[in-house]
Structure 1
């Protein structure tokens, strides 16, 4: 039993990463492609409402601690009326709750601290906001990775690295790190892999040393430099402002992977559906104006060919820039001064903004080096994760760009793929590429864009929930009866394969025309109970059974009878780490 807590999953890439058309600034969100877009994360309730999504380190960056003003002392909280049977933690001011939860309680999963036996309001609050872990993770102690607590000022970015949050354990809100040790992740190939052997990274996806050596580093004097083969017109050199030739060379392996993703028949099928007339569904209490839906899997080869041709012309309607995106790996906004590809009212050219942290890391900056946070993490393997994450994030954002350039309705809408309960076409596209899941960092405390503990996969839309998403959520997870949380630690071989000719030259032979698979190494699964607050206030509190995945893909196939636990292909353990007898 999971006890009194329940996990939720904040949005994979930090909240909505495409803006409504009216505001000119990105909507701030929580992860990490993130998240990061720290993509999808399990988490227990946090001690203040605004932190129901655990933001990436970018969201918490501040000047060095020495320059911060000394905070005023907190006023005492009146505990004279405390009664464990009636006490509500929301009655405690946020700052006091955060202070009380410093050095949080971490307990053996399954042994939830009994809040009713708490003698004080502080102890009650600490028990409510406590964190489960396996016996193996508990054995690591409270500070197994001191680098997580160390902050550095990065002069090139004029900011500091992420601050350790004292009200969270070292593993943050990660279900994987709470139950699987980093040593076990490394043994299963989820953190390091050989990236130097040319047999493993194909030539076209490697950096070219001779081109790098001769590339200009002046961001105001860009020109065509080196080899541009295999790069989609949308990613052409002229579309990247304030980007030096050297920085564009660094991006080329990423752009080539993203370009191969844009050629996938399953992606072309989805983009064809997005460019076609949308289906309007009648209004509900939750969405009184109704919603728009598009259905995938219905395009012909000829229709996908026409879609591909129109994608080429999109190159004239998208530009890329670098900026501090406030916690998101990347985001998309409209250029209200330029009409979109279709030339009709309601379509707009777009600007894709990528966070300056990404440029810093890819250019060789070491302030966020993975080995600083996890000494066992190889920085070259970490860079491969960042490149993969950047490629997928570009495709995610290009899906927003495509929709905003081909929209036939002069309304600010968020369409739903195949009646999914969340209308976010970027994540829907990611799930089309990676067989029903989105992939992002395994985030510790703090979350770091170099992903020192590897990457994880989680179903889309699964149990996603975020307050900023109300505009494009048609049903709660409770309403649709989605009662399992699952995360998969992703093997690095799956990530490395994206940078090989073998994958792209033989993709259809291996996988058919559909999505790519092989992202599972270890699973952490938890059963979700439905609480009244899990239903939207406009919904009736009854479960409406639907298919687990709108794609029809049953991705959670390992040990389907095990409702919660740490799961391998051939064995399973309770969340505490005790073996489960799977022969019964």
Structure 2
């Protein structure tokens, strides 16, 4: 556990570096120890987009490093100053968790590495409905997705005295009460709106297609120069109604092979591990065993859902309403549970003698959890707009990004996004998500009407503002771990998201009807 901020240990001395050897013609920032770079970049340079500091004019190694690791922003964000949200810098010790809140990184600006916060002010995000929304009116949150006051009042808070309490309708068997260890009846009541949303996601035809494909024999592809060990592929969108029905029935039996618990996951919202003490859903022993799984959810989430205020969104962004923030946490928890259950399904149904992430449709889309999220929300994954530091209550709202995206995942050898460069796309985009999109997941109308009529297309209203940036690669480039060929084009429901707003603007702050340069200057869209 992290110690309180006041008792942080004294850092080790910085490694030696001879700055007198600086030569602007030959200097390489990789020769500078990381600790020194972070020290030199305290109070980092933030410049107006389009005016990149010229590192060639640097007089010292420190000045050179600061220019290389500088950060661009729009004029509106620059006008906010270096410390517009003092709460981001304040650390608090949370006794219930025996740890402190996240530490501000002095080598980053207040907006961290967020493309959205670097170019769009929180006030503008609020005006576009991306931070706050009415959550108290019963017309907006349907009864089955609300907390039941009478059940909450009578729920036991003793984590060692578990029993069935309240209404369990609409909760998938995998999320049943007995699968939650060290969870009080009161805490399970807090989870019920989340579990009901996650349960509706598990019923979606697009998700059943994904799980059917993951639970079917994978196609082994031979190695290439880029992937000498070869790869495994599953093909989606191929299941029949009968196959979906069988998949759904087997999903219910999965309830006997999954356990949920709370622990400090080290910054991850949740994670999944195999339980080697228990053979999984489809049995067999030995080298090809399928195992039951344990899903661990970060204790921060339990603390926040239980009313803990140490991470309250309003502490970090005074304009953020904590009830709206709590709705974001519930949505994120529901989607994270479905993400992790996708791993649980894969590990329980298909035995592979390698630690792999299978690729969907041979487009190098590793990490089946994110691939599953993308079929729910029509080609994008939705997560926090993270400032400095990142906070689980998401005080600045949520963002959507295409999956697969253009990002590289160099830390995970087997986690590979498809190169959008193969499709001739050399730009990345992030969308600020309107809170109405998040709130709709907690309404009967979405699940009983829109989703049944329109499928994944019903879950497409995630765009409020887009920030588009060019990438440092060219069409035809591909990630180092992927094959340069693509066998199958993905279908409309699961395919690459088409960034349709202002397609002629290569980069900028994009609205449905207007566009601005990243600096904030208007773009003439009539040209």
Query: TM-score under structure 1 normalisation?
Result: 0.86
**1:418–1:550 Cα contact (<8 Å) kept:** no
Unpaired stretches in structure 1, ≥5 consecutive residues? 1-60
Q: More deviation in 442-451 or 514-523?
A: 514-523
1:301 deviates by 1.0
Task: From 235, 255, 277, give the equivalent of 1:295.
Answer: 235
Measure the CA separation in 1 of the matches of 2:480 and 2:338. Answer: 34
Shift of 1:94: 1.5
Distance 1:144 1:206 in 2: 35
> Which of 120-129 and 542-551 deviates more?
542-551
Mapped contact 1:275–1:407 kept (Cα < 8 A) = yes
**Cα distance between partner residues in 2 of 1:155 and 1:462:** 39
Does 419-428 or 249-258 show the bigger shift? 419-428
Distance 1:447 1:292, change over 3 A: same
**Kept after mapping to 1: 8 A contact 2:451/2:458:** no
Q: Provide the residue aligned with 1:236 in structure 2.
A: 176
Alpha-carbon shift at residue 215 of structure 1 (Å): 0.3
Shift of residue 176, structure 1, vs aligned partner? 0.1
* 1:126-205 correspondence to structure 2 within 5 Å: 126-205=66-145
Kindly indicate whether residue 480 of structure 2 is the aligned counterpart of residue 537 of structure 1. Answer: yes
Mapped contact 1:525–1:565 kept (Cα < 8 A): yes
Summarize the Cα distance change of 1:160–1:544 in structure 2 as closer, same or farther, 3 Å threshold. same
| CA 489–548 in structure 1, closer or farther in 2 if over 3 Å, else same | farther
Contact 1:62/1:159, CA 8 A, preserved across alignment: yes
Query: 1:395–1:72: structure 2 CA closer, same or farther, 3 Å change rule?
Result: closer
- Asked if the contact 1:277–1:408 (Cα under 8 Å) also holds between the matched residues in 2, the reply is no
Question: Structure 2: which 5+ runs fail to align?
Answer: none
Shift of the alpha carbon at 1:533?
14
Change (3 A) 1:111 1:524: same
RMSD over equivalenced CA pairs, Å: 2.5
Q: Could you tell me whether the CA contact under 8 Å between 2:135 and 2:323 is conserved in 1?
A: yes
Per-residue deviation at 1:333? 0.4
> CA, structure 1 residues 453+434, in 2 after alignment: closer, same or farther (shift >3 Å)?
same
Cα 1:109/1:450, change in 2 over 3 Å? same
Q: Does the CA-based 8 Å contact 1:374-1:452 persist in structure 2? A: yes
Displacement of 1:514 in angstroms is: 5.4
Partner of 1:306 in structure 2?
Answer: 246
Asked whether the 8 Å contact 1:480–1:546 carries over to 2, the reply is no
Instruction: Using the TM superposition, give the Cα deviation of residue 509 of structure 1 relative to its aligned residue in structure 2, in angstroms.
Output: 5.1
Q: C-alpha offsets along residues 43-67 of structure 1, whole Å, 9 cap, x if unaligned?
A: xxxxxxxxxxxxxxxxxx8322321
Indicate how the Cα distance of structure 1 residues 75 and 396 shifts in structure 2: closer, same or farther if over 3 A, else same. closer
Any idea what SS the aligned residue of 1:95 has? helix
SS in 1 for 2:466: strand
In the TM superposition, residue 529 of structure 1 has moved relative to its aligned partner by 2.4
User: Greater shift after overlay, 273-282 or 123-132?
Assistant: 273-282
Q: Is the 8 A contact 1:462 1:482 kept in 2?
A: no
Change (3 A) 1:201 1:423: same
C-alpha displacement at 1:473, in angstroms? 2.6
Shift in Å, 1:287: 1.9
- The superposition leaves residues 12-37 of structure 1 with CA deviations (integer Å, 9 ceiling, x where unpaired) of xxxxxxxxxxxxxxxxxxxxxxxxxx
Structure 1 residues 562 and 532: alpha-carbon distance in aligned structure 2, compared to 1, 3 A threshold: closer
Q: Distance in 1 between matches of 2:232 and 2:114?
A: 34
On the 8 A contact 2:416/2:481 being kept in 1, the answer is no
Contact 1:173 1:444 in 2 (8 A): yes
1:327 Cα deviation from its structure 2 partner: 1.2
Q: Pick from 151, 158, 161: which aligns with 1:211?
A: 151
Cα distance change of structure 1 residues 542 and 532 upon mapping to structure 2, 3 Å threshold: farther
* Deviation at residue 542 of structure 1 after TM alignment: 12
Are the equivalent residues in 2 in contact too, given 1:346–1:407 (CA < 8 A)?
no
Could you say if the C-alpha distance between residues 515 and 461 of structure 1 is closer, same or farther in structure 2, counting changes exceeding 3 Å?
Answer: farther
Deviates more, 1:511-520 or 1:307-316: 511-520
1:538 to partner: Cα distance:
7.1
What CA deviation, in whole Å up to 9, does each residue of 1:233-274 have, x standing for no partner?
000000000000000000000000000000001111111111
Q: 1:540 to 1:269 in 2, by over 3 A?
A: closer
Structure 1 residues 527-536 or 253-262, which shifts more? 527-536
Residues 524-533 or 378-387, more deviating: 524-533
Relative distance call for 1:538 and 1:402 in structure 2 (3 A) is closer
Q: 8 Å contact 2:404–2:418 — kept in the other structure?
A: no
**Contact map agreement 2:402 2:497 (CA 8 A) in 1:** no
The 1:229/1:373 distance shift into structure 2, 3 A limit, reads: same
In 2, are the aligned partners of 1:105 and 1:131 still within 8 Å (CA)? yes
Q: 1:236 to 1:142 in 2, by over 3 A?
A: same
2:15/2:33 contact within 8 Å kept: no
Native 8 Å contact 1:525 1:563 kept in 2: yes
Bigger RCO (CA 8 Å, 6+ sep): 1
CA contact (8 A) 2:405 2:418 kept: no
Match of 1:268 in 2: 208
Cα offset for 1:73?
4.9
**2-structure distance, mates of 1:198, 1:514:** 26
Matched length: 524
CA contact (8 A) 1:480 1:544 kept: no
Superposed displacement of residue 471, structure 1? 2.0
CA contact (8 A) 2:227 2:481 kept: no
Map of 1:410 onto structure 2: 353
Q: 1:111/1:268 Cα in 2 relative to 1: closer, same or farther (>3 Å)? A: same
CA distance in 2, matches of 1:109, 1:582: 19
**Cα pair distance change 1:548/1:80, threshold 3 Å:** farther
Kept in 1, the 8 Å contact 2:405–2:417? The answer is no
Deviation at 1:422, TM superposition (A): 3.0
Q: CA deviation at 1:510?
A: 4.8
